[in-house]
Amino acid sequence: MDLGLADRTVVVTGGSSGVGLATVRALLEEGARVATCGRDAERLAKATASLPADRLLTSVCDVRDADAVNAFVQQTADTFGGVDGLVNNAGQSRMKGLDAATADDWRDELELKFAGVLHPLHAARPHLKASDAAAVVNVNAVLAKQPETRLITTSAARAGILNLSKSLSTELAPEGIRVNSVCLGLVDTGQWTRRHAAAASGLDYADWQAELAADRGIALGRLGRAEEVAYAVVTLLSPRASYITGTGIDVCGGVGRSIL
């Protein structure tokens, strides 16, 4: 199916790895023009080196820096002639429980999650209003609906972002801007590779991953792949999803227990 994304311009934050990079690749495969950013210039350049340079713009940018985000989005609009879509993906999980989480952990987590949505949105909003198929997708997690005490700061922040996304879908609908969320479960990205190394369990990665899936109650018995999340993101960006707004799609292998 043609998703109608050819020659559309989409901004993807956090495109150096994982779901962000998979989303960049999926959009380019659909013929879209893509602008993506990351905090590490070398890592970003290495990740995107093999992608088509004529339809890709990359920039070093920290989503917590509003001025840098404004400059990045404006550069995107100037280069490609506008912005049709925004994927707010930048962020990470913080593996800490209540007793281990400091005041700085709480502050940093909330700043990253909310700045990671609000700064790109404020920068892109004038351009999105000018599009005839504007869409925003916030990459979130099932933690937003199903708290995990081992990631207490991340769970709380993600719940706030899910709530914010619902509000934004109502606020921006009159401007023709759709806002949706993709709530992922455990996805096999660099974060889990690092946690495997830190665990020093003696298990190889495949066995450790299977044990982790069983412990977390993942019905499909495995971690997800970044491209599996990216497919959902790209679908929600598509003009063919023009009547979908204010919703969240779980891409979690059945780990979600919430019926809402």
Q: pLDDT grade, residue 103 (50/70/90)?
A: very high
Region 154-178: mean pLDDT is: 97
Closest CA to 164 of 117, 125, 233, 106: 117
99: which 2 tokens?
A: 């007793």
Instruction: Collapse the DSSP code of 27 into the 3-class scheme (helix H, G, I; strand E, B; otherwise coil) and give the result.
Output: helix
Q: What is the CATH number of domain 9-186+224-250?
A: 3.40.50.720
CB neighbours (10 Å) of residue 225?
15
CA–CA gap between residue 187 and residue 252 (Å, rounded): 8
CA–CA gap between residue 44 and residue 38 (Å, rounded): 6
Alpha helices in the chain (DSSP H): 18-29, 41-48, 66-80, 103-129, 152-172, 190-199, 205-215, 226-237
Share of the chain above pLDDT 90, in %: 78
C-alpha 52 chain-centroid distance: 21
Write down the pLDDT at residue 96: 81
Q: What is the dihedral of CA 70, 71, 75, 78, to 10 degrees?
A: 70
pLDDT tens per residue across span 68-91: 999 999 999 999 999 999 999 987
pLDDT tens per residue across span 126-144: 999 999 999 999 999 998 9
CA–CA gap between residue 133 and residue 57 (Å, rounded): 21
pLDDT tens per residue across span 216-246: 899 998 899 999 999 999 999 999 999 999 9
Residues 253 and 218: beta-carbon distance below 8 Å = yes
Supply the Cα-derived Rg of the chain in whole angstroms. 18
CA–CA gap between residue 232 and residue 37 (Å, rounded): 20
pLDDT value at 260 more than 70: no
What distances in angstroms separate CA 260 from CA 149, 231, 256, one per listed residue?
Answer: 20, 22, 10
Question: Would you kindly state where each structural domain of the chain is located, as residue ranges?
Answer: 9-186+224-250, 190-222
pLDDT tens per residue across span 31-66: 999 999 999 999 999 999 999 999 999 999 999 999
Write down the pLDDT at residue 193: 84
pTM of the model: 0.94
pLDDT value at 95 more than 80: no
